[in-house]
Amino acid sequence: MPASILIVEDEPAIAEIISVNARHAGYLPVLAFTVYQAKQVVAEVLPDIIVLDWMLPDASGMSFLRDLRSDVRTRDLPVIMLTARGEEYDRVAGLEAGADDYVSKPFSPKELLARVKAVLRGRAPELTDDPVCVNGLRLDPATRRVVGTLNGTEVPLQLGPTDFKLLHFFLTHPERVHSRTSVVDNVWGDHVFVEERTVDVHIKRLRSALRPVEGGSMIETVRGAGYRLATSKTGSAGVAKAA
């Protein structure tokens, strides 16, 4: 599924230019012309990134950004400020308020989308099309292929759509412990109700899919915490062996 961009911009022509270019670049654009509309979108479904104008008719983009950063649900949501205010003081103020990047008007749509990709690569690498390789296991989002190695031989692996997303998430966040809730939010989305037991079922299925290249043990169960993709060959204390 393409990464979604919430474009909060009150000038229809600028919003449309960003939207058209975003769609051509493979993103899913969603438009909001006021802070009120943006809050409604965010309350319903979290976008993957927000392009946020500073000056909006009902409230400032800066105040909306502060609200996002103060809410545990949205505090890690990537935000790029887009504004005609290009003075150094304004750029510093935007970054200190929690913006991930700052683009001044007039701007190049291609440059803006390049910055979107760069921010996603840093904050949410599982949303990019960059291939990722860990311990000889290579996943290519663009071709939807997963290839492992066994005794020096490449072995194509077959994964369903959800298991592919699950593996992509773990490969782009190795060695971190992820709770079941975190896995649900990042793989299924926070707007979808998925029982935590469902995560366990998919983990078991993913481990089975990785066994032909002896990769099933890469995904470790961390007792009382969740799951972790290990890049080392040996387990850690407090970690249950993969079943």
Q: How many domains does the chain have?
A: 2
Are 107 and 82 contacting, i.e. CB atoms less than 8 angstroms apart?
Answer: yes
Task: Answer yes or no: do 102 and 139 share one domain.
Answer: no
- Please report the pLDDT score of residue 90 as a whole number: 67
DSSP string, 115-161: HHHHHHHHH-GGGS---EEETTEEEETTTTEEEEEETTEEEEE---H
Among the candidates 73, 97, 125, a domain finishes at: 125
Among the candidates 109, 125, 141, a domain finishes at: 125
Least Cα distance to 148 among 211, 201, 231 occurs for 211
Instruction: State the DSSP H helix or E strand holding residue 7, giving kind and residue range, or none if neither.
Output: strand 4-8
Start-end of H helices in 25-99: 35-44, 61-70, 88-96
- Please report the pLDDT score of residue 235 as a whole number: 44
What letters, b where the CB count within 10 A reaches 16 and e where it falls short, cover 72-83? eebeebbbbbbb
DSSP string, 74-91: TTT--EEEEES--SHHHH
Q: Distance (Å, rounded) from C-alpha 76 to C-alpha 203?
A: 25
The residues facing 160 across adjacent strands are: none
Q: What is the pLDDT along the chain (243 residues), one digit of tens a residue?
A: 678 999 999 999 999 999 999 999 989 999 999 999 999 999 988 888 999 998 899 999 999 999 999 988 888 889 998 887 656 666 677 677 788 888 888 889 999 999 898 888 766 666 677 888 988 899 998 888 999 988 888 999 998 888 988 999 999 888 889 888 888 887 887 666 777 788 898 999 999 999 999 888 899 999 888 999 998 754 443 444 444
Instruction: State the DSSP H helix or E strand holding residue 201, giving kind and residue range, or none if neither.
Output: helix 196-210
Task: Answer yes or no: do 81 and 110 share one domain.
Answer: yes
What letters, b where the CB count within 10 A reaches 16 and e where it falls short, cover 25-60? bebebbbbbebebbbebbeeebbbbbbbbbebeeee
Instruction: Tell me if the bond preceding 156 is cis, omega within 30° of 0.
Output: no
Task: Answer yes or no: do 144 and 207 share one domain.
Answer: yes
Structural domain containing residue 118: 4-125
Are 227 and 217 contacting, i.e. CB atoms less than 8 angstroms apart?
Answer: no
Task: Answer yes or no: do 120 and 171 share one domain.
Answer: no
Task: Answer yes or no: do 121 and 12 share one domain.
Answer: yes
Task: Answer yes or no: do 41 and 118 share one domain.
Answer: yes
> The domain that contains 26 carries what CATH number?
3.40.50.2300
Looking up tokens 């509309």, which residue turns up?
A: 37
Are 126 and 119 contacting, i.e. CB atoms less than 8 angstroms apart?
Answer: no
- Please report the pLDDT score of residue 239 as a whole number: 43
- Please report the pLDDT score of residue 122 as a whole number: 67
